[in-house]
Structure 1
């Protein structure tokens, strides 16, 4: 069995996180690995075609990032993960998860995958996007919709 030293758990702050965290913690215990958490706040998408006033969207971003940091810290405390091993980032999920993994020399990224079918599959998924950019192994934990 491959032994991992550093595991990064990508969390979304929803009900699927529990299953993802449990799977990652099981692997971490078997490997005696260090566990880190990452959450990515995606920037507001501006609709320039309809000339929407972007000011309200942009003003929410710092608040969303602060809320994410608070929730990430609370989750880390409940799991016994050191706060220094928590990463609250702003950007694209695939880009930021991959960047943190590379910078922190992560061996395994664990995230949830909803296993979409049809049109959603053609458009791609977060897990697929991370897979193509990840500098290490990736475990996509199947989440039932």
Structure 2
């Protein structure tokens, strides 16, 4: 069985994606690893827990997932990894929870995740990358 790498992608932040490309490609070359790209559509309760709310009606989740998958496909074309070793996953919920859940389910040997430089809000609220580092059962490479 080949090695599995999980790469969470924030489809709304291309700068973070650019940072991980070289790292993912280098790790994917080792043992011809399977690379699982994951994007998570945050659910309304997740936004509400951050004190954010919507005043307009949200699009249907199926439509959001289809658009997210299309964007994820476009993003993964930037990686020079054979297409037969690339797997796409789109889900909804709390990003950190879904990343940890997918890492365990695969099971991933490594998670490669990009992160913003910490600031005061990150220290107070925590970040997805920090939660993954603390709770993942596999190695985690955080790229800044």
| Same fold? TM cut 0.5 | yes
Q: CA deviation at 1:55?
A: 6.5
* Structure 1 unmatched runs, 5+: none
Distance in 1 separating the partners of 2:111 and 2:54: 37
RCO higher in structure (CA 8 A, sep ≥6): 2
Confirm or deny: 8 A CA contact 1:43 1:61 kept in the other structure: no
Confirm or deny: 8 A CA contact 2:35 2:85 kept in the other structure: no
TM-score (norm 1): 0.77
Among 126, 142, 145, the alignment partner of 2:128 is 126
Confirm or deny: 8 A CA contact 2:100 2:135 kept in the other structure: yes
Q: CA deviation at 1:28?
A: 1.8
* Structure 2 unmatched runs, 5+: none
TM-score (norm 2): 0.78
Aligned residues: 135
CA-atom RMSD in angstroms = 2.7
Q: Residues 53, 35 of structure 1: CA spacing in aligned structure 2 closer, same or farther, 3 A cutoff?
A: closer
Q: Between Structure 1 and Structure 2, whose CA radius of gyration is higher?
A: 1
